[in-house]
Amino acid sequence: MQTSWKTTIQKISRRNEPYVFLVLLALCILIEIRSGQFFSSNNLVDIASALIVPGLFAIGAFLVIISGGIDVSFPALASLSVYATTKFLLDINYQGGVWLAFVIALSIGALLGAFNGLFIGYFKLPALIVTLGSSSVFKGIMQGALNSKQLTTIPVGMRAFGTSSLFIAKNPVSGLTARMPVASIAFVIVLILVYLMMRYTMFGRGIYGIGGSEVSAHRAGFGVRKTKFTLYVMVGMIASLAGVIRVCMMQQAHPTNMLGMELNIIAGVVLGGTAITGGRGTLLGCILGTLLIVIVENSLILIGVPTSWKSVFIGSLIIIGTGASAFQVMRMNRVKSIKIRSKEAF
């Protein structure tokens, strides 16, 4: 029994999640000590609500990275599908519920994702190049064909969804309040579905398999092209869902303000222990890593770090975090040293 304990601990110590969790905890405690505001109910709710959009993006990025690919087009994809949706609903003066916005945006997202998936899955082009290209294409369509300007009003259904809340947390000391948006349910549902998919379907295991070795996956009988195609469609839909939620929560549709998020999102996923080379990583780690980035982005101000230093802090965190996992890989792969026998032994 003792040995099994030991091996369990060894196994856990080789994973990234516990370290990310410890760093996260240390950061939270540091902020709490310096400001006394971190563990207040309104701050926690604020962080949870700030996690929704990056969290959804991160789930999409996580899936792609696990499959051995990379996607830098998701902010542009989300912007285009939600912008087109909002504009269309405003043009027809739609007065109904938010569901139609979701249906339209997710359909557009699936289509745009299929565009990525076609080139990456069926034409076997490198994912980075394809998504860099499609990112430009999506931005171009938005700015050219849709002549995008900031939409300061959004359809009434979307507005209502954005302001509705599950509960409101009130800080008894400062009197500040924070809302937990209904959209958080969408995030939790996606999270659970993706978890179940990755663990209990052959499709999900196939994504891990392809990330580990595409040739092996092909020989074992996985439909590699179809799996990749479906994956990018799915990721397009998740990104568009995040886009709609973002617009609803902000109460306006801004064509460019999601652009540029991709780097921090991917950094968070990698920080959570997902191997950038594919095949290894857990959803838990992915969310922990993203949460770390979100907290740094939102709460550093509480300990008096000026916002201009935020990016320096996030950058260092990424370097240290990825460095730590690279070091672990190195430690695991190190040549086993042999025991040199003493002369007398011969």
Partner 1 sequence: MAENLLKAEGIYKSFVGVQALKNVTFEIKPGEIHCLAGENGSGKSTLIKIISGVYAPDSGSMEFAGKKYEKITPIEAIKSGIQVIYQDFSVFPNLTVMENLAFNSELADRRKFVNWKRMRKIATEAIAKIDFKVDLDALVGSLTVAEKQMIAISRALMFNTKLIIMDEPTTALTKKEVGNLFNIILKLKERGIAILFVSHKLNEVFEISDFFTILRSGELVASGNTADLDAKKFSYFMTGREFTAKRFEAKNISSEPILETKNIGIEGSFQDVSFDLHKGEIIGITGLLDSGRTELALSLFGILPIDTGSFKINGKQVKITNPQTAVAHKIGYLPEDRLSEGLFLNQSIADNIIISEIDRLTVFAGVLDTKKRTDEIARWVKELSIATPNPENACQTLSGGNQQRIVLAKWLALNLDILVLNGPTVGVDIGSKHDIHEILQNLANEGLALIIISDDLPEVLENCSRILVMKAGRVVSDLDAAKADEQMILSYMM
> Is 215 a binder of partner 1 (CB under 8 A)?
yes
- Does residue 15 bind partner 1 (CB under 8 A)? no
Q: Which of residues 124 and 149 has its CB atom nearest to partner 1 in the complex? A: 124
The answer to whether residue 216 forms part of the interface with partner 1 (CB under 8 A) is yes
CA-based nearest residue to 37, from 302, 293, 298, 305 = 302
Return the exposure string of 222-245: e unless at least 16 CB atoms fall within 10 Å of the residue's CB, then b. bebbebbbbbbbbbbbbbbbbbbb
Question: Would the CA dihedral through 154, 156, 157, 161 be positive or negative?
Answer: positive
Query: How would you write 202-251 as a 3-class SS string?
Result: HHHHHHHHHHHCHHHHHHHCCCHHHHHHHHHHHHHHHHHHHHHHHHHHHC
Least distance CB 3 / partner 1 (angstroms): 13
Please name which of 304, 123, 320 lies closest in space to residue 228, comparing C-alpha atoms.
123
Applying CB under 8 A, among 24, 203, 225, 252 the residue interacting with partner 1 is 203
> Closer to partner 1 at the Cβ: 32 or 214?
214
| Choices 57-65, 264-272, 277-285, 292-300 (CB under 8 A): range interacting with partner 1 | 277-285
Residue 27, token pair as written in the block: 């950061």
Tokens standing for 182?
Answer: 């209904």
Exposure string over 251-289, b if 16+ CB within 10 A, otherwise e: eebbbeebbebbebbbbbbbbbbbbeebbbbbbbbbbbb
Binding of residue 200 to partner 1 (CB under 8 A): yes
Among the listed residues 160, 180, 188, 187, the one whose alpha carbon sits nearest the alpha carbon of residue 101: 160
For the CB of residue 222, give the shortest distance to partner 1 in the complex, in Å. Answer: 7
Burial-class residue 308 by CB neighbours within 10 Å (0-12, 13-18, 19+): exposed
Q: Which of 280, 282, 297, 300 is close enough to bind partner 1 by CB under 8 A? A: 280
**Is 330 among the residues that bind partner 1 (CB under 8 A)?**
no
Contact partners, residue 120, CB within 8 Å, separation at least 6: 69, 126, 127, 130, 131, 228, 229, 232
Inter-CA distances, 304 with 27, 34, 315, Å: 14, 9, 18
Nearer to partner 1, 39 or 200 (CB): 200
- Give the binding-site size for partner 1 (rule: CB under 8 A): 33
Residue 1 touching partner 1 (CB under 8 A): no
Query: How far, in Å, CA of 108 to CA of 80, rounded?
Result: 9
Single out the residue of 37, 213, 257, 322 in contact with partner 1 (rule: CB under 8 A).
213
At 192, list the tokens: 């659970």
In whole angstroms, the minimum distance from the beta carbon of 322 to partner 1 comes to: 18
**Three-state SS for 164?**
coil
Nearest distance from residue 205's CB to partner 1, in Å?
A: 6
- Indicate whether 273 belongs to the interface with partner 1 (CB under 8 A): no
C-beta closer to partner 1: residue 227 or 264: 227
Sign of the torsion formed by the C-alpha atoms of 78, 199, 295 and 41? positive
Q: Whose Cβ is closer to partner 1: residue 29's or residue 220's? A: 220
Report the nearest approach of partner 1 to the CB of residue 15 (Å): 11
Select the span of 153-161, 214-222, 262-270, 320-328 touching partner 1 (CB under 8 A).
Answer: 214-222
- Of the candidate residues 123, 219, 306, 308, the single one contacting partner 1 (CB under 8 A): 219
Q: Cβ distance 101 to 39 under 8 Å?
A: no
228 binds partner 1 (CB under 8 A): no
| Nearest to partner 1 of 330, 338 (CB atom) | 338
346 is an interface residue for partner 1 by CB under 8 A: yes
341 binds partner 1 (CB under 8 A): yes
Q: Using CB under 8 A, which of 10, 167, 331, 332 touches partner 1?
A: 332
Q: Which of 41, 111, 279, 303 binds partner 1 (CB under 8 A)?
A: 279
Q: Which residues bind partner 1 (CB under 8 A)?
A: 199-205, 208-209, 211-213, 215-217, 219-222, 275, 278-280, 332, 336-341, 343, 345-346
